[in-house]
Each structure stands twice: as structure tokens, then as C-alpha cells.
Amino acid sequence: MRWHTIRKMASILIYSLGSIAGALILVLTFWQPALWAEQRLTDIRMAFFSPTFPSRDKIVIVGISEEELSKYPYRSPVSRQLLADLLSQTASKGAKAIGIDFLFDQPTDPDKDSQLSNAIRQVRIPLVASYSSTLTGVQKTYVDNFVPASDLGNVDILVDPVAGAVRWTYPKVRLQDGKESFSFAGLLAHKTGVNVPSGKVAIMWNSNEPAFPQIPVDLVRFLPPNFLRSKIVLIGLMTSDHAHVTPLSVMGGGPRVPDVEVQAEALATLLGNAASPDISHWSFIVMSMLGGITGCFVASFFVESVWARAAYLFSAVIFFYILGFFAWYEYQIMLPIALPVLCLLLAGFTFNPLRQSIKAHVR
């Protein structure tokens, strides 16, 4: 009897592993749709079930609108006299740090260029200007002469290949020579005393958070002296041609987000030390195996009744969804849902045919 029980358990284990392996192969075959579904579920949890971060209160945006640009004879590049005035005015209002989300990679009017370059060097608070790895050699040389190297942060952003949405930033990267390279948001956080992590960091997109306070350009000079005290001020364009797709706009079909707001979101993520919404590879493997085993277990107990098996599999699917949302809402742990559920269903409906096929070959 004991040997019979061991053989039965061993056979169930073999069948289970076979079903799980088959389910995983099918999942990998249709990886792109499954990954798309997984990303949507991650976006929903991040957008609607994330905690709020008080770090957003530390950030203010001075946005240059289309209306403001229409006052000048040309809209691009933005008047550097305007930026020089904004920089000096913002610093005089008690700002803790300033980020200028503009690339200074070519000359414009010599007098205005000189005025802005001098203003950048005269500011006595932490300041960061934009830099990009896509600049040519000539452009890099101009930027290095225009802005001190210690004040340059990389504004390059990372998008996911599925939806084309902005999801990540590299706040700090260690180069081959041992030096550290910072992103725009990473350098601002570093200069304000935050321990910036290395490598890729997921930006927290939370629809429950209020929008960053925005101050029109014309009002900055009228603000009280300490109005921006303890605030990190980002200066940038609020125009549609400098905007990006985000997880929130992908889900709700909303508008694109201006680049300066993307940088503000990245900065708020770093200041708040937010939990990463990325799913680890081990989570994918373990949860997918658990889904496959659950599907095999349900199928092994409901061989005859297809409806009973379907009902229990549906209950198991609901359980995985609840587990995924609960883990993020309570503990900020992002678990996969779509792939484990797919493995569960594939294993649940292929387990019995596979077991019968194996039995027939064994006989």
C-alpha cells in the first residue's frame, strides 16, 4: 500500500511537471501578448493602489507655455535671456535647488548666451542643466563650455518596448573609469542630500497624487522673497511637442506628459524612496510554477466534471488576482498575475489529456 501511494504521488508529480512545462512553453510562445497584459495589470496597481508620497510637495514647476513662446520672434531655442531672468528670480525666492530642463547645445544670440551662462555660474544654490548622450561631438563641446560639467544631468529616458511609455530612469551609472554619471533627476536628488541608487529605477506613476504645483513664467518675479523656500524648482517647456506617453495615458487614453513633468515624477520617486513596481524574474518563475501546480491540482480532483473543474479554476484565477493586488497595496510587492493565471489555465485544461496519453504509452 505504501509503495502504491508513493508511485501515485510520483506519477502525479511527473504529470504536473509535464503540464507545467507545456504551459510555460506556450506562455513563451505567446510572450508578447502575455507581457502586454502583465504590464497593464502592473500599471493599474501602480496608478490606483499606490501610497501617496509627501516628496511631491517639495517640487514646483515653472512652465513655459505656448502662449509665452508666442511673445518672442522664434520659439526654438527658447530665449536665453528669459531663462537667465527666470533663473535669477527663482533663486531669489528661496528655492532649495533648480533644474533647467533645456539643452544648451548650440549658440543663439551671443549677448543672451553670455547672460545665461553667467547666471548659471553665479547661482549659489544647487543647479542642474540638461545633457543628452545623443549629442554630437561639437554639441558636447559647446555644452561643456556653457555649463560646468558638475551641473549636467542626463535627460535621456527609458520607454518600454510594448506600449512605448516612459517607465524607467537611470539615476546613477558607474562608468568604466570609476566615475559616476547622474541623470537629470538623479543629480538634483544627489545635490539635495538623497542617497541615489544605481541602475534602472521604475518611475512611480500614481493617478491618486495631485499634480505638481505650476507657476506661470510671468508670476515668478512677483512672488514673495521666501515663497519657494525648501522647494526644488524645475524650469521647462509645457508644450505638446516636448511630451511623452506614460502608463497613465496608455491606460486612460489621456494626453501626453511634458518632459519637465516626467523629470518631476522621476525626482519625486527618488526623493520618496518609492518601492519598485518592477517584477523580478524570480517572481515570474515562482508564481508561474505555482499557477501551473494549482491548475494540475484542480484538474486531478475534478477529472469527470468539466464544469466543476472550470468553476474551481475560475476561483483560483480570482485568488491570484486578489493576491497580486493585496501584495502591492499592503506591502508594495509587485507580483505577476497574467502569466501565472495563463499557466494555471493551460495546466488545468491540459493536465488530464496529458496524463491519459502518458498512461497509454506506459501500458
Q: Between 141 and 40, whose confidence is greater? A: 141
Q: What is the rounded average pLDDT of the residues 109-135? A: 93
Q: How many CA atoms within 13 Å lie on the side-chain side of 300? A: 17
pLDDT at 121: 93
Domain ranges (residues) in the chain: 17-48+278-362, 54-272
pLDDT at 362: 47
Which candidate, 197, 161, 184, places its Cα nearest to that of 236? 184
Q: What is the rounded average pLDDT of the residues 314-322? A: 92
pLDDT tens digits, 53-78: 777 889 999 999 888 888 888 778 89
Weakest-pLDDT range from 132-141, 282-291, 323-332: 282-291
Does residue 236 surpass a pLDDT of 90? yes
For the question of whether the overall pTM of this predicted structure is more than 0.85, the answer is no
Q: Between 96 and 10, whose confidence is greater? A: 96
Q: What is the rounded average pLDDT of the residues 215-238? A: 93
Does residue 15 surpass a pLDDT of 80? no
